Structure 1
Amino acid sequence: MAVLTPRGEAFNRTRQTHLATALAVADTHWTRLRGLLGITASDFRNGNGLWIVPCHGVHTLGMGFPIDVVYLDGTYTVVHIEPDLRPWRLAPVRLEAESVLELPCRAIVETGTAVGDRIDITVSSAAAGAG
């Protein structure tokens, strides 16, 4: 069982609600490639998230649980959402996206997150590179 190391948080400024209070970061080739593989649904619950940067699209091949996916442009504006992306699926590639947030299923619905929302991402510089 793999464990994500939280390094920050994601806050929906438009809706004034947290998307993730324990946000891990996948910002190297290997961490982006690994993504959530090896993580169980019980390890990835409300409050958790994975920020993949840079990223234009994701898949859930090899995963055992659904996730919500939020695509962000370079200004951290939501440009596309994929709620309830089931295992063994390919999400669309969005060239305008520069990063992606992977969140527990239902996070998009529960927070009301929509295209056009502005997201604040805070990452601890002390933990940078620890991911």
Structure 2
Amino acid sequence: MGIEMKAFLILSMAMSLISVAFAATGTATYYTTYVPSACNGYQDDGVMIAAASNVLWNNGAVCNKYYRITCTGLAYQGANPCKSGSVVVKIVDHCPTGCAGTIDLSEQAFAKIANTAAGKINIQYTPV
């Protein structure tokens, strides 16, 4: 293996550790009605989407930004609902007052990382 390839591998590993180190923690719930959205009105944004709570909303500055979400455990006591891997979602909406999670994922996005029966999970999230 050449020196350039070794340097590339070391840099890649370091970057992945940095992204984990800067991951924020919070909770996620899910919702099922996707339009209209606070960011894009009646535009179809697909299903890998989410609504941001006031923690992230920042007067809409987070609209159309992407976040990588990883399940880290159940928000309550019980069996771990997490699936392996993560999901990347686009923020298209503002979670209404009283939102139960930091990020309200679409049902499909939530199902990629956890069993939907859990309802609320602990997460790590990072901007992409």
Q: Normalization by structure 1: what TM-score?
A: 0.29
TM-score (norm. length: structure 2): 0.30
Structure having the larger proportion of residues in helix: 2
Higher relative contact order (CA 8 A, sep 6+): 2
